[in-house]
């Protein structure tokens, strides 16, 4: 079934990365007006030009910059119907080597950024009594992964945040769900993660990939398309009776 988003406006964060860009592209091609944001100005301009949409760079840990992006989106399109919080970072470090600054940065980007965008978009949704929020957690937010304790903690917080908002906003017909992808190939996140595992596990890249693939019942890493398809569904009217869900896109690696 073809999903259409004609007359809908979507705000996508982390849109210079592989998954954020793919979601923005799919929404745009399905009829939505799309506004994108990411940290680096040049990257935002390149993606916006490529997709034919509007965009503005922002540091998601800055409440002032986040508010400016939401304001700009409303100036450009008049409303917002869909918020997709993709922006996030990852790192692999033994717990005894994680610095306070690294811990704080992990939570600032993954959690505070999601909170800030939600805070400034929700009033728009409440006024129209309709809206879709799609947050990004991770398989590691449900079952922790070695060498990633700070990342796992932050992604677990996103799941709890999503569930709390689902209760809080249900009477306004605002759907709040999140995705929990497994290892997704051809993304900057996996590149960073695999490099860390290669270093910390002292294994060649091929062995690292094989080690993780062996744990997946469907026998492969996730593709960007696998993740995008679920995100776009959650943004559509087909998910109107779904809220508070943390959906696994893991090839069976995570089943709860």
Q: pLDDT category, 193, cuts 50, 70, 90?
A: low
Interval 58-86 mean pLDDT: 98
241 is catalytic: no
Q: Transcribe 140-186 into DSSP letters.
A: GGTS--TT-HHHHHHHHHHHHHHHHHHHHHGGGTEEEEEEEE--BSS
- For residue 219, CA distances in Å to 102, 143, 251 come to 33, 19, 8
DSSP annotation of 221 reads: P
Name the pLDDT band for 158 (thresholds 50, 70, 90).
very high
| Sequence spans of domains, the chain | 9-183+223-249
Q: What is the mean pLDDT of residues 87-100?
A: 95
Residues 68-92, mean pLDDT to the nearest whole number: 97
Domain 9-183+223-249 -> CATH class: alpha beta
Lowest mean pLDDT segment, chosen from 133-137, 208-212, 227-231: 208-212
Number of alpha carbons in the 13 Å side-chain half-sphere of residue 57: 10
In angstroms, rounded to a whole number, what is the distance separating the alpha carbons of residues 36 and 47?
A: 8
By the 8 A CB rule, do 194 and 245 touch?
Answer: no
Composition of the chain by helix, strand, coil, percent to 5: 55, 15, 35
φ, ψ at 249 (rounded to 5°): -125, 75
Sign of CA dihedral 177, 89, 144, 118: negative
Task: Give CA–CA dist 229/248, Å, rounded.
Answer: 12
Q: What is the mean pLDDT of the chain?
A: 94
User: Per-residue pLDDT for 24 more than 60?
Assistant: yes
In percent, the amount of the chain with pLDDT more than 90 equals: 86
**What are the tens digits of pLDDT across the range 37-59?**
999 999 999 999 999 999 999 99
Hey, CA dihedral for 54, 57, 58, 64, is it positive or negative? negative
Which of 77, 151, 197, 241 is an active site residue?
151
């Amino acid at each position: 079934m073809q999903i259409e988003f004609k007359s809908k406006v979507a705000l996508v964060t982390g849109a210079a990365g592989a998954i954020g860009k793919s979601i923005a592209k799919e929404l745009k091609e399905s009829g939505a007006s799309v506004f994108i944001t990411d940290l680096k100005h040049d990257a935002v301009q390149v993606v916006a030009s490529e997709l034919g949409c509007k965009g503005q760079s922002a540091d998601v840990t800055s409440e002032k910059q986040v508010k400016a992006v939401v304001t700009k989106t409303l100036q450009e399109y008049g409303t917002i119907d869909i918020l997709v919080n993709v922006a996030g970072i990852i790192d692999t470090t033994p717990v005894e080597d994680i610095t306070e600054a690294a811990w704080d940065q992990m939570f600032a980007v993954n959690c505070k950024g999601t909170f800030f965008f939600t805070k400034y978009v929700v009033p728009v949704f409440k006024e129209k009594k309709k809206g879709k929020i799609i947050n990004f957690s991770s398989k590691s937010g449900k079952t922790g992964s070695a060498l990633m304790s700070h990342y796992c903690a932050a992604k677990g917080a996103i799941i709890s945040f999503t569930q709390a908002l689902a209760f809080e906003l249900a009477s306004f017909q605002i759907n709040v769900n999140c995705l929990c992808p497994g290892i997704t190939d051809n993304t900057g996140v996996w590149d960073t993660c695999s490099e860390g595992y290669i270093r910390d596990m002292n294994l060649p890249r091929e062995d690292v990939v094989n080690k993780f693939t062996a744990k997946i019942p469907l026998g492969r890493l996730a593709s960007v398309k696998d993740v995008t398809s679920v995100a776009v569904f959650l943004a559509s009217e087909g998910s109107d009776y779904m809220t508070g869900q943390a959906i696994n896109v893991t090839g069976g690696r995570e089943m709860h």
